[in-house]
Structure 1
Amino acid sequence: MSGSGSSRNVNMASTWSKREEKLFEEALAYYGEGTPDRWHKVSRAMGGSKTADEVRRQYEILEDDVKLILSGRVPFPKYNTQGAWN
């Protein structure tokens, strides 16, 4: 089987705006693992722009990508840090 899981995941993921990604991250931090109805709460915290299933799937995709990076099967992304936080 060729190709990385990461590229497969990108193809299956819905498009997320930078704002949605930020809201998603903030909601995940607030509604930690073990929170009842976590994905519904994260979806609501994002203003309902994504369904609970889309939110859960996005989390699973990111989790899979982290596992691939940590296993050494995918190189750690190289970010341009100059002016990244401006």
Structure 2
Amino acid sequence: MASNSKGSSAVSATPSPVWTKQQNKQFERALAVYDTDTPDRWHNVARYMGGAKSAEEVRRHYERLVVDVERIEAGRVPFPLGYGATPPAGRGGAPASVDVVERR
């Protein structure tokens, strides 16, 4: 039963790590340098990140971002109030509609 402690540590390593704003910017620059046609893309992106993230971490981060963008483009994710939308006066609730800004 002592071997379970090793198994549980592997499971605890699966949650997505926090990415700082600086790391996200660095990640974006790396994606611009190493496009989809680059051999060993994720290893190169990880190296560009200075060893702060593994190839697997950058690949998973990219996949999560792709899903997020797809959800936003499909209109399934409303923009937060800080992006120009304001609640209707006197109701105190969420706005009836949120303008979606297309970014490309």
TM-score of Structure 1 vs Structure 2, range by shorter chain: 0.7 to 0.9
- TM-score, normalised to structure 2, is 0.61
Matched residues in 1 for 2:55 and 2:83: separation?
A: 32
Q: Counterpart amino acid of 1:40? A: H
Q: What root-mean-square deviation, in Å, do the aligned CA atoms of Structure 1 and Structure 2 show?
A: 1.8
Structure 2: gaps of 5 or more residues: 1-14, 85-104
Q: What does residue 58 of structure 1 align with?
A: 61
RCO comparison, higher one (Cα < 8 Å, 6+):
1
- Which structure has the bigger radius of gyration? 2
Q: Distance in 1 between matches of 2:25 and 2:65?
A: 14
Q: Which runs of 4+ in 1 moved over 3 A?
A: 76-81
Q: Give distance in 2, aligned partners of 1:38 and 1:79.
A: 35
Aligned residues: 70
More helix by share: 1
Residues 1:77 and 1:42: Cα distance change in structure 2 (over 3 Å):
farther
State the TM-score, normalized to the length of structure 1: 0.73
Give 1:74 deviation, angstroms. 1.1
Counterpart Cα distance in 1 of 2:56 and 2:70: 21
Deviations 1:5-64 (CA, angstroms, capped at 9, x unpaired): xxxxxxx42101111111101000010112100000000001010000000000000000
Sequence identity, in percent?
54
> In 2, distance between residues paired with 1:78 and 1:34?
38
Asked if 1:24 corresponds to 2:24, the answer is no
**Gaps in structure 1 of 5+ consecutive residues:** 1-11, 82-86
